[in-house]
Structure 1
Amino acid sequence: TGTAPSPTELFVASLASCVAFYARRYLQRHDLRQDGLVVTAQATSGAKPSRVASMTITLTLPDGVPEDKRQALLAVASHCTVHNTLTHPPDVLVQLAG
């Protein structure tokens, strides 16, 4: 019906949600406000082969996050599992059953 996200949209969303998860966990661990955390994702497509060519994940932090914590949070969020997987690609095998 065209209302469900495409596999590519889910792929980009998985990175954004992973970054958000790590960012929120950082805020919790440092007793900082979590409400107001917004994570957005943008992606560009590439051709030959068809692929996601680039992704930009932008974090808007809640008010009151000290400057020294902002860079640390970015470092933590930039090393979420999905980001690590993209920067250190796994071996991928597509095969037929049987």
Structure 2
Amino acid sequence: MTGSTPQTLHTNRARSGDVHRLEVAHVDGDAYSTEVRGHRLQVDQPLEAGGSDTAPTPTELFAASLATCVAFYAGRYLHRHGLSQAGLRVRTEFTMATDRPPRVASMLLVIVPPPELPERRRAALLAVVSRCTVHNTLHEPPEIDIELAPPPSLP
């Protein structure tokens, strides 16, 4: 998963396993950034949605997260079987729901395997990538709690 130091937030809920922590901070307008193990990610909104379009939206990063997880699992499968990863691509499309609540309604991922992938490996590759961590998480969603931090103490 990540090499971040397991820590817990101020919460009453018991957590099991490693806890990985990150924090999102406001940058400007609709832009926010976060650091994950020293890597900086930023999100924004498109101009037509009132943002400055300096970065992908959180929803686009969500779709990218699934696509890159699938690509990673495909690459590992190819490597494990001594096959080239050259030319491996994952194309992704998503549509938004037209009703409430706002959410992604559907996603299509198309894996473009390396041209020399043997026909007998295609079904196995598809089976492996369909078990990537992000895909598994979407099929068995985590418990999600959203809390408001207490106000800072006054001196």
- TM (norm. structure 2) is 0.62
1:45 to 96, 121, 126: 96
- Tell me the amino acid that sits aligned with residue 14 of structure 1: S
Q: Give 1 or 2 for the bigger CA radius of gyration.
A: 2
Gaps (5+ residues) in structure 1? Answer: none
| Bigger relative CO (Cα 8 Å, ≥ 6 apart) | 1
Q: Give the 4+ runs in structure 1 shifted more than 3 A.
A: none
Gaps (5+ residues) in structure 2? Answer: 1-51, 151-155
- Alignment root-mean-square deviation, CA: 0.8
Q: Could you say which residue in structure 2 is the equivalent of 1:80? A: 132
1:63 Cα deviation from its structure 2 partner: 1.3
Deviations 1:62-85 (A, max 9, x none): 112112211101100110000000
- Residue 9 in structure 1 maps to residue 60 in structure 2: yes
Deviations 1:37-77 (A, max 9, x none): 01111000013010000111110011121122111011001
Number of matched residues? 98
Matches of 2:59 and 2:146, distance apart in 1: 17
Q: Could you say which residue in structure 2 is the equivalent of 1:28? A: 79
Matches of 2:84 and 2:143, distance apart in 1: 39
Matches of 2:148 and 2:120, distance apart in 1: 51
Deviations 1:1-49 (A, max 9, x none): 3030000000000000000000000000001111010111100001301
